[in-house]
Amino acid sequence: MSTLFDRIGLLYTGDPGREEIEHAALVVEDGRVVWTGPSGDDPGADERVDVDGRCVVPGFVDSHAHLVFAGDRTAEFTARMSGERYTAGGIRTTVEATRAASDALLAARTAALVAEMLAQGTTTVEIKSGYGLTVADERRCLEIARGFTEETTYLGAHVVPPDVPSADDYVRTVTGEMLSACAPYARWVDVFCERGAFDADQTREILSAGIKAGLLPRVHANQLGHGPGVQLAAELGAASADHCTHLTEADVEALASAGVVATLLPGAEFSTRSPYPDARRLLDAGVTVALATDCNPGSSFTSSMPFCLALAVREMGMTPLEAIRAATRGGAWALRRTDVGTLRPGSRGDLVILEAPSYVHLAYRPGVPLVTQVWKEGRRLV
């Protein structure tokens, strides 16, 4: 079955060779893009969708999200809005609620968030564990996540739980029994490398154990202050360093030279009233930048990639073009994927139709629901 998307006002392909096509058309066949070009030059298809001058972009790729959890942290949010400083301590509150929740409740909550994301144009999402912090709970959280995406991340090293005698004891569990139980359900391994969570030596040990178990590394790095996370990401060949709020010149150089994607999460800065990352500095240094929601109940409870894209343009020095790249192709690179994040022959037929003539409106009209249709593998889902 093939579908022609015709009379596209502006097609953002994400293909560096031909990034934008005005007055365009696109053909998807058997779930894959097979042709893009000017409207009227198409090879024909079984079905036709009249886009009527609207803009079409690739489905958003959200490469950093924490969706398997229970509980609520509105009290923490209210305290922050009253002037208290964010320290990541509330993670333990979510851990307690998640451990007490049934599998059915966790799956239902995850399904609801994935549906929210899809309605806002996200067709590929990464989901982390990290709110169980026991062998059994980390395993079940990843098993639930695997029901929604193939991009699952083992984040047993989120924080040291209060019921564990010492950080060293917990690291032994994370690199031993917990890793063995979780690796079959994960593609990635991640560590929250921050003051109050895991230091450089612990992060290196955990990531190295994950790599040995066949998982690919990524790092929560340099969110709360300057730290070793970015340098470790470069040293260990991580796909991405996520947050990147506090960077030295050496950190920026390490990201650029090692080809590590800097995944920026402006929803976290918005929610915690923290300084935003300087995307302009990274882009000017040749670093590949991705945007993601960091959807979680504590520091960034948003499922909206359009909102994060608008924040990136308004607060982080990105142009609208750079932001749409980061929300699509950049996210795909952060997941080491070549089949999503673009609309070019061979790409998966994941596309978003906007109720707007250009993707610029995603930043120009923040908060307005501009996503009018979402297609995944050539099938309309929204």
Residues contributing to the annotated binding site: 64, 66, 73, 131, 158, 220, 223, 294, 296, 298-299
3-class SS at 60?
A: strand
Instruction: Classify residue 298 by its DSSP letter.
Output: T
The binding site for Fe(3+) consists of: 64, 66, 220, 294
Dist CA 192 CA 100 (whole Å) = 23
Dist CA 31 CA 349 (whole Å) = 5
Task: Spell out a b/e string for 291-302, using b for 16 or more CB atoms within 10 Å of the CB, else e.
Answer: bbbbbbbbbbbb
The binding site for N-formimidoyl-L-glutamate consists of: 131, 296, 298
The binding site for Zn(2+) consists of: 64, 66, 220, 294
- Entry field: residues in the chain: 382
DSSP string, 231-272: HHHHHTT-SEEEE--S--HHHHHHHHHHT-EEEE-HHHHHHH
The binding site for 4-imidazolone-5-propanoate consists of: 73, 131, 158, 223, 299
Asked whether the beta carbons of 221 and 253 are under 8 A apart, the reply is no
Is the CA virtual torsion 218, 212, 256, 346 positive or negative? negative
